[in-house]
Amino acid sequence: MPKLTTLIGLEISKMLHKKRILFGLSFLILVYILMAFGISTLANFEQSDNQIRRAFLEEELKFYQEQLNRTGISEEEKEHLKGVIEDIQLQLDLGYEKAREIQLKRELETVNNIIADESLPPEVRESYKAYKEILEAKIQYGENSVEVRKLEYKQRLKDIEETLANEQNLTPVEKRRLESEQRELQLRMEQSTVDNQWNAFSLLLNYIVDTSSFFLPLIIILVASEAISGEYSLGTIKLLLIKPVTRMKLYISKYIALMLYGVFVFFFISVVGYFIGGFFVGFGGFFDTRIVGGVNLGREFGYMIDYSSAYLITNFRYYFQILFLLLIVMAVFIAFSMLISVFTKSATISLVATMGLIIFGSIISGIFSQYSWSKYLLMPHFDLLRHLEGRFMYSGVSLNFSIAVIVIYTVIFMVAGIVSFKEKDIL
């Protein structure tokens, strides 16, 4: 009797010769290239003084000049409009970066004059000194630099600490919101990069998270849907069952082969995606840190994310957390797709049914999310990765609970599929 590993190897060999795999991988790469190109283009637009930006500024200048020439506007409004026009003209003459630097230096000079005023109350002076520090950092490092962000976080942290220490009339909701923000800011102070800083690995992670609930499952299901039905349609099921191998072992070998195929797709997209991302936005990002472990507190707290139990991990570690959770989700999709394939003997029906479960399941779970029993349905737990960022739609539902629900449904689908396959007439 053939070993299980031999059967798995045969199944993988058959999968690699399917045109659907080439189509699926090509589709994922195309989507990734479009995403990388879009982000790269946006970043270049934000950082460059190009023709599009200049045309936009010229339109803005024309608009504000028309506003200034209106009759009946107050002197105060005139002065404001003149200032806006002067700033726009400065950008047109010198470019955004140089014009912004001049504006910041003017603002810094104004702040220095305010601080020099001896009649200024001490607490107000301290506030202006903190703002001065931020302006100096913007001039030295750039407005979107890590140094500027951390100074802004530091100032906000100080404000929160003072509010928590001195404000006696805070409601429980307000207090928890401030404590959560305090913890979030403390973590952001420890981060190595700012949130909008793109590199090859951060781009890859965002792509995987954004496509994990639809595109990645679709590519796996394209193959899983014909794992059993394909054998029936080609007539090869008879040849397989003539061999000294049980139907249960054959079914399990196909299931494991499909899981390994899912791992292959994940790593293939990771390697190719990293190099594509490096071409568009630059390499690196493995050891940049990100915040995970936030919890959605639900309607009572305005669906805020509670960061009290959140922590920092490197992108590299986050990558393998994603892989683990995606394997769990893939397990239930493959089990369901194979079950339908056994019942219907049709790859098309299996594909449509599984995609319907994903698409309409999300709609149904949203409709019934107000009921406590809905958390025991399978559909709300498809988007496991949202747990890592505290964006899971059900408040009070932990990651472990979601994993348990998916595992239970996977076992049910597998048992039903094996039993049905064992009883199925192959003629």
Q: Once rounded to an integer, what is the mean pLDDT over residues 375-380?
A: 80
**More confident of the two residues 46 and 161:** 161
**Residue 410 confidence class, pLDDT cut points 50, 70, 90:** very high
For the cut 80, the answer to whether the pLDDT of residue 2 exceeds it is no
For the cut 70, the answer to whether the pLDDT of residue 306 exceeds it is yes
Q: Once rounded to an integer, what is the mean pLDDT over residues 286-305?
A: 77
Please give the single-letter amino acid code of residue 167.
E
Any idea how long the chain is?
427
**Whole-number Å distance between alpha carbons of 408 and 414:** 10
| Burial readout 43-52 (b: 16 or more C-beta within 10 A, e: otherwise) | beeeeebeee
**Whole-number Å distance between alpha carbons of 314 and 124:** 39
**Residue 52 confidence class, pLDDT cut points 50, 70, 90:** low
Q: What is the pLDDT of residues 334-357, one digit of tens each?
A: 998 888 888 877 777 877 887 777
For the cut 50, the answer to whether the pLDDT of residue 237 exceeds it is yes
Please give the single-letter amino acid code of residue 39.
I
**More confident of the two residues 60 and 211:** 60
**More confident of the two residues 320 and 236:** 320
Q: What is the pLDDT of residues 106-149, one digit of tens each?
A: 889 998 988 888 888 888 888 888 889 988 888 888 887 788 88
**More confident of the two residues 259 and 377:** 259
**Residue 232 confidence class, pLDDT cut points 50, 70, 90:** low
Query: Are the C-beta atoms of 191 and 318 separated by less than 8 Å?
Result: no
Q: Rounded to the nearest 5 degrees, what angle is found at the Cα of 46, between the Cα atoms of 45 and 48?
A: 65
For the cut 70, the answer to whether the pLDDT of residue 63 exceeds it is yes
Q: Once rounded to an integer, what is the mean pLDDT over residues 322-326?
A: 90
CB atoms within 10 A of CB 397: 18
Least confident of 75-89, 166-180, 233-247, 408-422: 233-247
Please tell me which of 39-53, 59-73, 370-384 the model is most confident about, judged by mean pLDDT.
59-73
Least confident of 11-20, 81-90, 376-385, 399-408: 11-20
Q: Once rounded to an integer, what is the mean pLDDT over residues 210-226?
A: 76
**What is residue 308's predicted lDDT score, i.e. its pLDDT?**
82
For the cut 70, the answer to whether the pLDDT of residue 98 exceeds it is yes
C-alpha 339, offset from chain centre: 31
Query: Are the C-beta atoms of 269 and 28 separated by less than 8 Å?
Result: yes
61, burial (CB in 10 Å: exposed 0-12, middle 13-18, buried 19+): middle
Residue 309 in tokens: 């139990």
**More confident of the two residues 8 and 160:** 160
Dihedral (C-alpha) 201, 383, 352, 344: value to the nearest 10 degrees? 120
Q: What is the CA radius of gyration of the chain?
A: 29
For the cut 90, the answer to whether the pLDDT of residue 412 exceeds it is yes
What would the 3-class secondary structure string for the chain be? CCCHHHHHHHHHHHHCCCHHHHHHHHHHHHHHHHHHHHHHHHHHHHHCCCHHHHHHHHHHHHHHHHHHCCCCCCHHHHHHHHHHHHHHHHHHHHCHHHHHHHHHHHHHHHHHHHHCCCCCCHHHHHHHHHHHHHHHHHHHHCCCCHHHHHHHHHHHHHHHHHHHHHCCCCCHHHHHHHHHHHHHHHHHHHCCCCCCCCCHHHHHHHHHHHHCCCHHHHHHHHHHCCCCHHHHHHCHHHHHHHCCCCHHHHHHHHHHHHHHHHHHHHHHHHHHHHHHHHHHHCCCCCCCEEEECCEECCHHHCCCEECCCCEEEEHHHHHHHHHHHHHHHHHHHHHHHHHHHHHHCCHHHHHHHHHHHHHHHHHHHHHCCCCHHHHHCCHHHCCHHHHCCCCCCCCCCCHHHHHHHHHHHHHHHHHHHHHHHHHCCCC
**Residue 227 confidence class, pLDDT cut points 50, 70, 90:** confident
Over pLDDT 70: what percentage of the chain?
86
Q: What is the pLDDT of residues 239-295, one digit of tens each?
A: 666 666 777 888 888 899 889 888 888 898 889 988 988 888 888 888 888 888 887
**Residue 300 confidence class, pLDDT cut points 50, 70, 90:** low
Query: Are the C-beta atoms of 180 and 307 separated by less than 8 Å?
Result: yes
**What is residue 414's predicted lDDT score, i.e. its pLDDT?**
92
**What is residue 49's predicted lDDT score, i.e. its pLDDT?**
47
Please identify which residue in the block is written with the tokens 């499909």.
Answer: 258
Q: What is the distance between the terminal CA atoms of the chain, rounded to a whole angstrom?
A: 23
**pTM for the structure as a whole:** 0.76
